[in-house]
Chain A
Amino acid sequence: MGGELDLFEGSGTRPEDGAWTIAAVTRRSRQLIEAGFKRLWVRGEVANFKSYRSGHWYFTLRDATAQVRCVMWRDDARRVSPGPEEGLEVFVEVRPTVWEERGEFRLHVKRMIPTTTGGVWELQLQRAKEALLKDGLLDPMRKRPLPVYPTRIGVVTSPDGAAFRDVLSVIRRRWPIAEVYLAPTRVQGEGVEVEIVAALDLANRIPGVDVIIVGRGGGSREDLWAFNTEFVARAVAACTVPTVSGVGHETDVTLTDLVADLRAATPSAAAEAVVPDVGSATGSVGELAQRLARSLTRRADLGRERLERTGDRLSSGIQNQVQRHQSRVTVLAGKLDALSPLKVLSRGFAVPRADGKVLRSVRNFAAGVSFTLTVADGDVEAVSRASEDTM
């Protein structure tokens, strides 16, 4: 790109004499010029303006020492209305080129901003916007959610302005729990951007600050200008807590608005957006109170139920125990019965006893000894006649 022109060689030279064709030289010129320039913003005065039926515009831009032909194609021209008047000073965003058929140097105009409608501002705004866009600061994904119940609210505005009064009255009415910390600054006048940026920085460093409102009341375009500067917009973007902008009236949209986490139409609207309503917060508390009460009733019901269940299990447990013991008693009684001496007597055996003792040996039976003989159905009084040793 932009290489040196070789005067004797090139694809466009005629074979017979080595000279360039007109077409080749104009094409090469166009290529060189288009490669050598980026898009430019140019300031000049419109002359010889002509709008063709096709919708394309042709005119000259000039200043005190030079002039250049310009063309603006229909699609670009359509965005500017009405067309510029003769002698109007404008900013144009252009791409320099060569119209090959005529060998004419000219500017392709993409955008036109008349200086009379704040062209200087508009130009600066466009530049700042592009710079912010390039750095991703206008990305909607950057936008952070606001805290639901803010406690400490930073406000960056003039202490004497209507904006601050409006913000205070909204917050006092809706959310008086809040603490408002004003980082005071002028909001219009020479060099005010520096002050606003310093105030933003200050607000951002307030310990425990939850959210920052930045803004001012309505005013002329010039009055609001500071909020359209890249400097202020970048300071808003640099805040570590969410920011809400409220600059001017509904129709004013500034660069600060585009960078802030939330754009509110006015300072009052910004305050409305930042704080909840004390009524709805009271409602939330009431709801929790009801749930708390219900949870205890439910727990009591649960406890009662559990107690009843335990009672049932207890009584059925006792019944089981009793039954187990009963059956054991029956078994034991059977065993006892089997072992009873009465059972043995019924088979024909008898038990002799004297003085409460059982007489087990012939030695107990000396002649004339009285004893009681127990048989199955009663006792018999008896006397021993004689005894003899067995074996």
Chain B
Amino acid sequence: MADRKRAKAIPDVPVSFGTQLKKLEQIVRALEDEDLDLDKAIELFQEGITGLKSARALLEEAELTVRSVVEAADGSIKGRDVD
């Protein structure tokens, strides 16, 4: 537990829900509007299903992350988990 309290480098931003939703939206629109050949359509559809699953998982399994930031001596920003 003590380890959680240590200030660590701030991780990359996870793929945002907004980005996921936008990508799904594009897939659905392509399937709705474009005259795709069947292989491409099926490929897109599968991609859409995967996207839907991960977006749903994101919403269902989310647990708020709270970190307190400090500026390290070298000027970088570090974060420490807050309960």
Residues of A within 8 A of B (CB): 147-152, 159, 168, 171-172, 176-184, 202-203, 205-208, 210, 278, 281-282, 284-285, 288-289, 291-292, 295-296, 298-299, 303
Contact = CB atoms under 8 A, between A and B. Distances in A.
Interface in B11-34: 12-14, 16-18, 21, 24-25, 27-28, 31-32
B67 A285 contact: no
B68 A208 contact: no
Nearest to A281: B59
A147 B13 CA distance: 15
B41 interface: yes
A110 B38 CA distance: 77
A178 B55 CA distance: 14
Contacts of A181: 10, 67-69, 79
B56 A151 contact: no
Most chain B Cβ neighbours within 10 Å, of A203, A296, A303: A296
Contact of A177 (B27, B31, B62): B62
Interface in B63-83: 63-69, 71, 77, 79, 82
A149 B16 contact: yes
A184 B18 contact: no
Contacts of A168: 64, 66
A172 B10 CA distance: 20
Contacts, number: 108
Contact of B38 (A182, A281, A289, A303): A303
Contact of A282 (B16, B59, B82): B59
B21 to A, nearest CB: 6
B18 A148 contact: yes
A135 to B, nearest CB: 28
Instruction: List 3 A-B pairs, minimum CB-CB distance, nearest first.
Output: A208-B13, A149-B18, A295-B31
Contacts of B27: 292
Contacts of B16: 149-151, 210
27 contacts: A149-B18, A151-B18, A152-B13, A159-B82, A168-B64, A176-B62, A177-B17, A177-B59, A178-B64, A179-B65, A181-B67, A182-B82, A183-B69, A184-B69, A202-B69, A202-B71, A206-B69, A210-B16, A278-B62, A282-B59, A285-B55, A285-B59, A288-B52, A295-B31, A295-B32, A296-B31, A296-B41
B29 to A, nearest CB: 9
A139 B3 CA distance: 46
Contact of B52 (A178, A184, A292): A292
A299 B38 contact: yes
Given A205-B77, A289-B52, A182 B66 contact: yes
Given A282-B59, A292-B27, A151 B17 contact: yes
A58 B77 CA distance: 60
A181 B79 CA distance: 8
A280 to B, nearest CB: 11
B42 to A, nearest CB: 8
Contact of A207 (B45, B66, B77): B77
A284 B21 contact: yes
B10 A206 contact: yes
A221 to B, nearest CB: 29
B66 A295 contact: no
Contacts of A202: 69, 71, 77
B62 A182 contact: no
B69 A288 contact: no
B77 A288 contact: no
A292 B41 contact: no
A207 B71 CA distance: 12
A210 B14 CA distance: 12
A285 B24 CA distance: 9
Given A151-B16, A181-B79, A298-B32, 14 more contacts: A149-B18, A177-B17, A177-B62, A179-B66, A180-B65, A205-B77, A207-B13, A285-B52, A292-B48, A292-B49, A292-B52, A295-B31, A296-B41, A299-B31
